[in-house]
């Protein structure tokens, strides 16, 4: 499971007298939520930015101080950055269904019988986020809701269902409806987990999880986070150290550096993430189709929406962002679409120090440009 930050706070929401009613019709009570807060308190809510994280992210979006461990969005959140924590009160919570302190399907003593965890939708994640803000006493008139990838899906869902909750919604490198290609990639990743003998129908103990299947799922996913251009520039056909001039039988690990890189990414994820959460959250992404339902209230709320995409993103590229922008404009919503052309980082560009993109975000948020910072890995 994700190593939870020492700064994490916890809340228990939706007691037995007021359960969480999921979109599936099932209910949950005593929902544990792990969250972190950054920047100055904001009793009004008007200087609060809620950050929604991506598939394998958590609440630790940035450092709280100089000797804290890095967060997953250091380029975007922190002092002198577009979401400036000197100015904004920032809240980030681990999503429902996650495995970094929030209730989910990972092995957990709160689910002693290992009962099947209910189906979760992106809308359910947003319901929990809104309830957390109420518990924290933050009025739902936020400065902004911002997220990338699955985080952008949460921000879009929030915009369509509760457009008056924030003045701005930032939808970065995200989708409103997965393509057949996206669905196929998720299907292969889940098949790897399901085929692992350690999966045991999802009832594996915490001490013996299906790390092989989850690792392969991560390798599949990571290929979609990077662009072909960035893989070629970083690895090409380079051999791993010590493998130069040698070949390996197909039964042994291959000789190429790119193989070792993917194995490294797989190993890192299996140390901090849960296979059942991966299945739960990717399935929620598959089902996400928010424009399939009418949303008559959006234009009257007059939110300011920014959609950002990247030329090299082969997961949620320009077509995905155009689809969102066109649907919002058709609904009468102010929407600026910024398509960043310079980065070769692929989908991962939304996490990195890409000046044109970060400057566009800073202008949209009304903050000053910030100095370069180290890039974060994909959450």
Residues 6+ apart with CB under 8 A from 282: 55, 186, 189, 190
Q: What is the rounded distance in angstroms from the CA atom of residue 155 to the CA atom of residue 315?
A: 18
Q: Judge whether 149 counts as a catalytic residue.
A: yes
**pTM (two decimals):** 0.94
Closest CA to 353 of 94, 70, 7, 59: 70
> How would you label 287-324 residue by residue, b for 16+ Cβ within 10 Å and e otherwise?
ebebbeeebeebeeeebebbbbbbbbbbbbbeebbebb
313 is catalytic: yes
CA separation for the pair 302, 214 (Å, rounded): 42
CA distance from start to end of the chain: 13
Number of neighbouring beta carbons within 10 Å of residue 48 = 26
| Nearest partner of 357 among 66, 73, 69, judged by Cα | 73
Query: Which residue is catalytic, options 149, 309, 312, 376?
Result: 149
pLDDT in tens, the chain (379 residues): 555 678 899 999 999 999 999 999 999 999 999 999 999 999 999 999 999 999 999 999 999 998 999 999 999 999 999 999 999 999 999 999 999 999 999 987 655 545 689 999 999 999 999 999 999 999 999 999 999 999 999 999 999 999 999 999 999 999 999 999 999 999 999 999 999 999 999 999 999 999 999 999 999 999 999 999 999 999 999 998 865 555 555 555 788 999 999 999 999 999 999 999 999 999 999 999 999 998 878 999 999 999 999 999 999 999 999 999 999 999 999 899 999 999 999 999 999 999 999 999 999 999 865 555 555 555 6
**pLDDT at residue number 247:** 56
| From 337, 347, 353, 378, active-site residue | 347
3-state secondary structure of 93: strand
pLDDT score of 115: 63
Half-sphere exposure of 195 (CA within 13 A, CB side): 11
Rounded Cα–Cα distance for residues 48 and 37 (Å): 10
Whole-number pLDDT of residue 113: 46
DSSP letters for 143-171: EEEEEETHHHHHHHHHHHH-GGGEEEEEE
Q: What local confidence, expressed as pLDDT, does residue 255 receive?
A: 86
- DSSP secondary-structure letter at 200? G
Instruction: Determine the Cα–Cα distance for residues 360 and 375; give it in Å rounded to an integer.
Output: 17
| Residue (of 314, 306, 145, 131) closest to 230 by Cα position | 314
Q: Which residue in the list 313, 345, 348, 353 is annotated as catalytic?
A: 313
The pLDDT assigned to 370 comes to 52
């Amino acid at each position: 499971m994700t190593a939870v930050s020492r700064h994490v706070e916890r809340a228990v929401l939706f007691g037995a007298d007021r359960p969480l009613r999921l979109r599936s019709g099932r209910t949950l009570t005593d929902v544990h939520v792990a969250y972190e807060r950054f920047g100055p308190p904001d009793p009004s809510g008007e200087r609060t930015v809620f950050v929604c994280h991506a598939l394998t992210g958590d609440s630790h979006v940035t450092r709280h101080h100089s000797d804290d461990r890095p967060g997953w969005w250091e380029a975007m959140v922190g002092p002198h950055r577009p979401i400036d924590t000197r100015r904004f009160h920032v809240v980030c919570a681990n999503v429902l269904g996650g495995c970094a302190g929030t209730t989910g399907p990972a092995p957990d003593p709160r689910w002693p019988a290992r009962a099947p965890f209910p189906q979760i939708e992106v809308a359910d994640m947003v319901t929990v986020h809104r309830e957390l803000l109420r518990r924290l006493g933050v009025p739902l008139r936020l400065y902004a809701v911002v997220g990338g990838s699955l985080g952008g899906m949460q921000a879009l869902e929030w915009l369509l269902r509760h457009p008056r909750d924030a003045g701005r919604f930032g939808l970065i490198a995200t989708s409103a409806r997965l393509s057949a290609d996206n669905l196929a990639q998720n299907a292969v990743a889940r098949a790897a987990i399901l085929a692992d003998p350690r999966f045991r129908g999802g009832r594996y103990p915490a001490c013996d999880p299906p790390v092989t299947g989850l690792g392969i799922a991560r390798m599949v996913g990571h290929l979609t986070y990077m662009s072909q251009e960035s893989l070629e520039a970083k690895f090409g056909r380079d051999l791993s150290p010590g493998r130069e001039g040698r070949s390996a039988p197909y039964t042994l690990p291959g000789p190429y550096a790119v193989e070792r890189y993917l194995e490294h990414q797989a190993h890192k994820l299996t140390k901090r993430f849960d296979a059942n959460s991966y299945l739960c959250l990717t399935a929620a992404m598959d089902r996400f189709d928010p424009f399939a339902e009418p949303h008559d209230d959006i234009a009257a709320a007059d939110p300011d929406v920014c959609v950002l995409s990247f030329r090299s993103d082969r997961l949620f590229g320009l077509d995905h962002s155009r689809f969102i922008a066109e649907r919002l404009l058709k609904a009468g919503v102010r929407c600026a679409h910024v398509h960043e052309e310079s980065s070769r980082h692929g989908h991962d560009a939304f996490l990195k120090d890409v000046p044109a993109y970060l400057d566009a975000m800073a202008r949209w948020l009304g903050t000053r440009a910030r100095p370069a910072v180290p890039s974060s890995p994909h959450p």
